[in-house]
Amino acid sequence: MVEIFQILLSESFWAASLRIATPLIFGVLGALICEKSGVLNLGIEGIFVAGAMSGWMAVWLGAGLWGGVLVAALAGGFFGLIHAILTVPLGLSQHVSGLGVTLFATSVSYFSYRTALPNVSSPPRIEPFRPLEIPILSELPFIGAVFSQQTAMTWLALFMVGLVWYVMNRTGLGVAIKAVGDNPNSVDAQGLSVYGLRIGAIVAGSALMALGGAFLTMSAFDAFFFGMVNGRGWICIALVIFASWKPGKALLGALLFGAFDALQVRMQTEVGAIIPSQVFLAAPYILSIVALVIAARRAEYPRALLTPWFKGQR
């Protein structure tokens, strides 16, 4: 027990928690925007892969780090648009379309990677984002040490939490997105475009998801590996229900998850001899299922989630 407290009080633990949480923050926010507009986006796992691959590839080709971020967001938006066209005007099954987009985005990414680099066993490395020193903040005790280890992408993720909260709760656009996910007919009656709002929300949400992938190759690591996303997208889909579609709670959920993951890595070195390491490896996935089961009962899904809407058909 003493060891746990020592871990919980260490700066490196909290810095790691925030780092692990960053891709999830992007992913949960992206999923939240899509689902608030009434469309489940199971393309998330593939969009993570596409963001990770395209962002990294752009930097490797000389686009610069922020150029890479932009390319990743555009790639995410592109695959989001495919999902949007299939599910909004065509009204197809959101489950199947999303899985199709995941498989498509993953295979496009893997194929492009292998075609660009046919014969490499270890992928070339890029110069990733460096930790950002914030003048006054980094001098604070404890907090300073936690935050001065973070890169600009983590700050971008935290900024996005605020931005998404502001747009969803304080602007007309946010009201319209929420309304289109609850009662599209009322939005249509207002003379607003249901299709436009939903497609826009899915594309924007997917662009955000892709940044979560880009964080993996451009900040957490410095190269692209097959299978590196490893279910993070699916975890985000569970977390968004846990967060009851609220940006603040999404941040909290991602941080809790990051803290748990950071804790299990450190516990592994402490008690690794007694408990098989696989228990710790499986823990994040088990935790996600537990969180989902707890949250599912009282979850208030957007009322029109999964329901397609056709113009002129009531």
Binding residues (CB under 8 A) for another protein: these are: 42, 82, 86, 90-93, 95-97, 99-101, 103-104, 106-108, 110-111, 114-115, 118, 230-231, 234-235, 237-238, 241, 276, 278, 281-282, 285-286, 288-289, 292-293, 296-297, 299, 310-313
Which of 15/88 has CB closer to another protein? 88
Which of 162/276 has CB closer to another protein? 276
Closest C-alpha among 193, 160, 158, 154 to residue 176: 193
Which of 143/286 has CB closer to another protein? 286
CB of 57 to another protein, least distance (A): 14
CB of 28 to another protein, least distance (A): 13
Phi-psi region at 192: left, alpha or beta (left = phi > 0; alpha = psi -120 to 50): beta
CB of 61 to another protein, least distance (A): 15
Beta carbons within 10 angstroms of residue 120's beta carbon: 10
The CA-based angle 152-169-153, given to 5 degrees, is 10
CB of 111 to another protein, least distance (A): 4
- Alpha carbons 38 and 40: distance in angstroms, whole number: 7
> 311: which residues sit within 8 A by CB, 6+ positions away?
188, 194, 195
Tokens of 239: 């977390």
CB of 62 to another protein, least distance (A): 20
Which of 41/219 has CB closer to another protein? 41
Tokens of 182: 């609850």
Whole-Å CA distances, 101 to 49, 108, 182? 11, 10, 24
CB of 160 to another protein, least distance (A): 23
Residue entry with tokens 């963001």? 51
Which of 101/220 has CB closer to another protein? 101
Which of 10/93 has CB closer to another protein? 93
